[in-house]
Amino acid sequence: MDDSIRFIMEDLSGPLLQGTLASLKLIVCSVPFGLALGFMLASGWVYGNKPVSWLCRTYVALVKGTPLLILLFIIYFCLPSFGLTLSPFFASVLGFIMCNGAYNSEYIRGAILSVRSGQLIAARSLGMSRAQAIISIVMPQAARRALPGCSNEIIYLVKYSSLAYILSYIELTGAGKMIATRSFRFTLVFSIIGLVYLVMVTIASIIFMWLEKKLAVPGFEAKRQ
């Protein structure tokens, strides 16, 4: 027991802290672009002309059908053949953005469709351009409705960030794996890593609940199951 505590304090805490920071870096770099991609795909799907809409639909179907790990392998191992070599970090972030964007777009699309189409017509009749009406009338409402779904996806992203380890980017899981193989204390190390992930996921869900409450417009609260 004493030995375990000394092991945790001396050998484990430093690398795990670095690993946690590396994981956070991955997540923080992916989330904003994933949301942006989701918005672009969703508006392209709903409002785009035929080819744009088809392109967005196909992209979402392809990315959702491919395991994220294979997407990461394609980005990391295949792109160099086309002259684009990415570091493990950028390859993972690109993969996370592509995957997260595709899933987000589904929620945002649903949210856009749930805004009454009369509002768009009313905004147009007030002299707004189509783009203006979408950006300042439809999107603020759709974003609020899509938030619960997107926050789920971001929590998935926290967990999927562990896949960057397979592209040899040393984040939390990778750092733990290295120590565990050196010390043979697999159960202890991975239990602690699991706890760190649980803490990250719990904090993320608290932040999103707070954000949802903060952004709620009185009288327009989404019904939560």
Partner 1 sequence: MQNALIILESLPNIAWGLFTTLGLVITALAVGLAVGLPLGVIQVYWGNSLFSRPIAIYVWFLRGLPSLVLLFLFYYGLFPLLGVDLPPFFVGAAVLGLRSSAYQSQIFRGAILSVDQGQMQAARSLGMSKPCAIENVILPQALRIALPAWSNEYPILLTDSSVCYAIGVMEMLTRASLQVSRTRAPVPLYLATAVIFIIMNYIGMRILRSAERRFHIPGFGGS
Instruction: Name which of 128 and 166 has its Cβ closer to partner 1.
Output: 166
For the CB of residue 64, give the shortest distance to partner 1 in the complex, in Å: 7
Instruction: Name which of 20 and 43 has its Cβ closer to partner 1.
Output: 20
The residues, ordered by sequence, that sit 6+ positions from 121 with a Cβ below 8 Å of its Cβ are none
Q: How far is CA 221 from CA 136, 147, 181, 196, in A?
A: 19, 12, 50, 32
Instruction: Name which of 83 and 219 has its Cβ closer to partner 1.
Output: 83
Structure tokens at 169: 């980017």
- Write out the residues near partner 1 by the rule CB under 8 A: 61-62, 64-71, 73-74, 77-78, 81, 158-163, 165-166, 173, 176-177, 180, 186-191, 193-194, 197-198, 201-202, 225
For the CB of residue 96, give the shortest distance to partner 1 in the complex, in Å: 13
Give me the amino acid identity at 166. Answer: I
For the CB of residue 63, give the shortest distance to partner 1 in the complex, in Å: 10
Instruction: Name which of 40 and 188 has its Cβ closer to partner 1.
Output: 188
For the CB of residue 3, give the shortest distance to partner 1 in the complex, in Å: 16
Tell the residue number behind the tokens 């899981």, with chain if given: 173
For the CB of residue 36, give the shortest distance to partner 1 in the complex, in Å: 23
- The values of phi and psi at residue 64, to 5°, are -70, -25
* CA pair distance 176, 94, nearest whole angstrom: 24
Give me the amino acid identity at 104. Answer: N
Judge contact between 89 and 69, C-beta under 8 A: no
Instruction: Name which of 94 and 134 has its Cβ closer to partner 1.
Output: 94
